[in-house]
Amino acid sequence: MTTTTKTADATKAPVAGETVLDARGVTMRFGGLTAVRDVNLTVNSGEIVGLIGPNGAGKTTFFNCLTGLYVPTEGEVRYKGQVLPPTSYKVTDAGIARTFQNIRLFHNMTVLENVLVGRHTRMKQGLWSALLRLPGFKKAEAEATEKAMELLEFIGLQDKAQHLAKNLPYGEQRKLEIARALASDPGLILLDEPTAGMNPQETRAAEELIFAIRDMGVAVLVIEHDMRFIFNLCDRVAVLVQGQKLIEGDSQTVQSDERVIAAYLGEPVAESTPEVEAPAEDAPAKDAPAKDAPAEEASSEDEATEDEPSEDDSAEDEPAEDAPEAADAPESSEDTPHDPASGKENDA
Ligand SMILES: Nc1ncnc2c1ncn2[C@@H]1O[C@H](COP(=O)(O)OP(=O)(O)OP(=O)(O)O)[C@@H](O)[C@H]1O
């Protein structure tokens, strides 16, 4: 992979240790089901934070609460001290970008065009300027193209800029989604299962890419089922079980926590298990959950080939207000194109 830090902008490098994301007491209920319960999580500049948990633990729902796709039933999300508006494009505008568990590319657009779509939140030219192709628009368009090409170089796809997105191998489609998210110049990127469906070589390359993203000044919050990947990558890991944060700590602490191992082995977790901030100096685990964690299972759902951003998504992406009352919510059939960096479910 040809990752470079070429696109890093020293002027926007965050203050070391600054809290970029501060989620407080986030709760999301769907009728009688509490998918996320009173979750607190911070991400600081320069950090890569992992969010893990068994299937159905509430990880994606939590992401949706952070990015304005869902309006949390309770709680508050701040980005760099400001409470985020509950609208996804405004969240993107504020500085948070994301990718989706199910790849959402414009498959009949070129690789370059896909990245340019992600850039539009930073283009301030109006409709008339675009229609009349006024000089200001042309200049902005040229700058956007240059930025998009830099990002393609960053992810190693510059030679495929004119290829149709649908013709890229799966792993490259995932990277393209990341480039499109980065095109909005975020200070924080949320990655939902970025290695789902990747082979081990692609997974290693994705790891390298995420480190490079962190090095260019973008904090990272990542959901993954691949424990080896998460524990290699992350400075901190938070574990969600049944919608609640079970533990948060460094990789060794989390790997060796018996409740985490139990959760992955399928043993019942006590209803009232409190959130625990673990001490960082616990002994390393011999029986890390990595060995017992479920294999990546999301790959099959990601085989998108249509020309719209692929929205064969599960209930995770339905508007909150339409949510049914049970966990076995019907699958969403939406196929509306999305603002790739943000999603549109909550933006009508
Ligand atoms: N729109 C919705 N309506 C009703 N229930 C929902 C909705 N979205 C999610 N849920 C339920 O909330 C719970 C958490 O789901 P979520 O997708 O957030 O889990 P997850 O940890 O991301 O799982 P996975 O690892 O399988 O992606 C599940 O029981 C799910 O069925």
**Please, are residues 155 and 148 in contact by the beta-carbon 8 Å criterion?**
no
Give the mean pLDDT of the chain.
Answer: 76
Q: How many CA atoms, within 13 angstroms, populate the side-chain half-sphere of residue 333? A: 1
Tokens for 95? 């500085």
Sheet holding 96-98, edge to edge: 96-98, 188-192, 219-223, 48-52, 236-241, 244-249, 276-277
Start-end of H helices in 35-87: 59-66
Confidence tier at 137 by pLDDT (50, 70, 90): low
Residues near 120 by Cβ (< 8 Å), separated by ≥ 6?
none
Does ligand 1 come within 6 angstroms of the Cβ of 333? no
Q: How far apart are CA 267 and CA 259, in angstroms?
A: 9
Give the three-state DSSP class for 241.
Answer: strand
Q: Kindly report the protein residue whose alpha carbon is nearest to atom 5 of ligand 1.
A: 327
54 lines ligand 1 (CB under 6 A): no
CATH code of the region 10-107+185-322: 3.40.50.300
Q: What is the mean pLDDT of residues 81-91?
A: 88
- List the alpha helices (DSSP H) in 156-199: 170-182
Q: How far is the CA of 297 from the centre of ligand 1 (A)?
A: 15
Ligand 1 contact via 57 beta carbon (within 6 Å):
yes
Instruction: Lowest mean pLDDT of 49-58, 106-115, 120-129, name the range.
Output: 120-129
Helix or strand run (H / E) with residue 38: strand 33-44
How far is the centre of ligand 1, averaged over its atoms, from the C-alpha of 60 (Å)? 7
In the predicted model, what is the mean pLDDT of residues 124-150?
73
Give yes or no for residue 269 CB within 6 A of ligand 1.
no
Q: The tokens of 9 are what?
A: 């902008």
Q: Is the CB of 315 under 6 A from ligand 1?
A: yes
* Interface predicted TM-score (ipTM): 0.97
Q: What are the structural domain ranges in the chain?
A: 10-107+185-322
pLDDT digits (tens, 9 = 90+) for 208-241: 999 999 999 999 999 999 988 999 999 999 999 9
Q: Has residue 8 got a pLDDT over 90? A: no
Instruction: Give the integer Cα–Cα distance in Å for 89 and 68.
Output: 8
pLDDT of 313 above 50? no
pLDDT in tens, 185-208: 999 999 999 998 888 988 999 999
